[in-house]
Structure 1
Amino acid sequence: MNIRLAERADGAAVAEVHIEGRNAYYNGHVDVETLDRRAAQLRGIYGDMPTRFDRNLWCAEVDGEIVGMALVGPPQEWLGPWVGELYQIHVRPDHWRRGIGSALHEACMGAWRAGGITVGVVEVWSRNDRAQAFYESHGWRADGHTRPGPAGTEYVRLRRTIL
């Protein structure tokens, strides 16, 4: 496995990893039309992946194929200059439970440490038990903040100290 920063040419592969990962947990809860509409948006976003100085997009490769991705940057809600947001970690479902998500997570933590970020936040869909367990196993805890999510649910914000 190789963890590296994404390059412009990785956009299409990163989009498909994101789509496969999110569809795995939304399947059966969010209608297909909504999933397809968001997939088209993601293909456009990652297909024209701009280089942003305030974000890091990481890729996980296995045998030269991108099978995971993680994106970090400033929080969507201003929480201070020392706070970073982990927007997402996605791994293709056929590569779950192989340490890929943990390796991506460590890359994000290392980038934050190097950049002086001391607190991280991430939002997790309330019905995504797998993601909640993953983040909890890596030291993240709910901080009481929520926002509306799809299918009458909510997103739960988790927080952790970056050491």
Structure 2
Amino acid sequence: MNIRLAEHADGAAVAEVHIAARNAYYDGHLDVEALDRRAAQLRAIYTGKPERFERNLWCAEVDGEVLGMALIGPPKAWLGPWVGDLYQIHVRPDHWRKGIGTALHDVCIEAWRDAGVTVGVLEVWSHNDRAQAFYESHGWRPDGHTRPGHQADTYVRLRRTIL
């Protein structure tokens, strides 16, 4: 497996990883039309503006094929300059539980350490039990904050100390 910073040319492959993972965890919770609308938006986002790739967007490749992606952003001013934001880690569902997500997670943590970030935060959909279990196994814990999500669902914020 090779994990590297994504380049603009990776946009289409990164979008398809994000879409496949998202469709898998929203399956049965969102209608197909809503999933298709968001898929079109994600394709435009990842293949559009090159500045998207100026953030820390990594892709995980196996045999030259992009199978996973992770995106961390700069700290949110209201949280403090020592708090990093993990926007997402996605792995193609047919490659779940093969260590790709953990390898991407480790790269994010290392990047934060190098940048002096001491706390990470992320949001996870309240019904995404698989993601919640993944993050819990990597030291993330709910911090009590939630925000409204789709329909009556919520997103739960998780927090982790970066040592």
User: What TM-score does the superposition give when structure 2 sets the normalisation length?
Assistant: 0.96
- Identify the residue that residue 110 of structure 2 maps to in structure 1: 110
Q: What secondary structure, in the 3-state scheme, does the structure 2 residue paired with 1:9 have?
A: helix
Q: How far has the Cα of 1:104 moved from its partner?
A: 0.1
Unaligned runs of 5+ in 1: none
Q: Percent of aligned pairs with the same residue? A: 79
Relative to structure 1, the CA distance from residue 24 to residue 75 in structure 2 (aligned partners, 3 Å threshold; closer, same or farther) is: farther
Shift in CA distance, 81/73, structure 1 to aligned 2, threshold 3 Å: same
| Structure 2 unmatched runs, 5+ | none
Match runs of 1:118-137 below 5 Å: 118-137=118-137
Letter in 2 for 1:126: S
| Alpha carbons 2:142, 2:156 under 8 Å: kept | yes
Tell me the TM-score normalised to structure 1 length.
0.96
Q: 1:147 to 1:69 in 2, by over 3 A?
A: same
1:25-44 to 2 correspondences below 5 Å:
25-44=25-44
> In structure 2, what is the Cα distance between the partners aligned to 1:90 and 1:13?
12
Deviations 1:43-68 (A, max 9, x none): 00000142358720010001100000
Supply the distance in 2 between the matched residues of 1:154 and 1:20 (Cα, whole angstroms): 21
**Aligned pairs, how many?**
163
**Partner letter of residue 130 of structure 1?**
R
Displacement of 1:74 in angstroms is: 2.4
**CA–CA distance in structure 1, aligned partners of residues 76 and 44 of structure 2:** 21
Summarize the Cα distance change of 1:54–1:157 in structure 2 as closer, same or farther, 3 Å threshold. Answer: farther
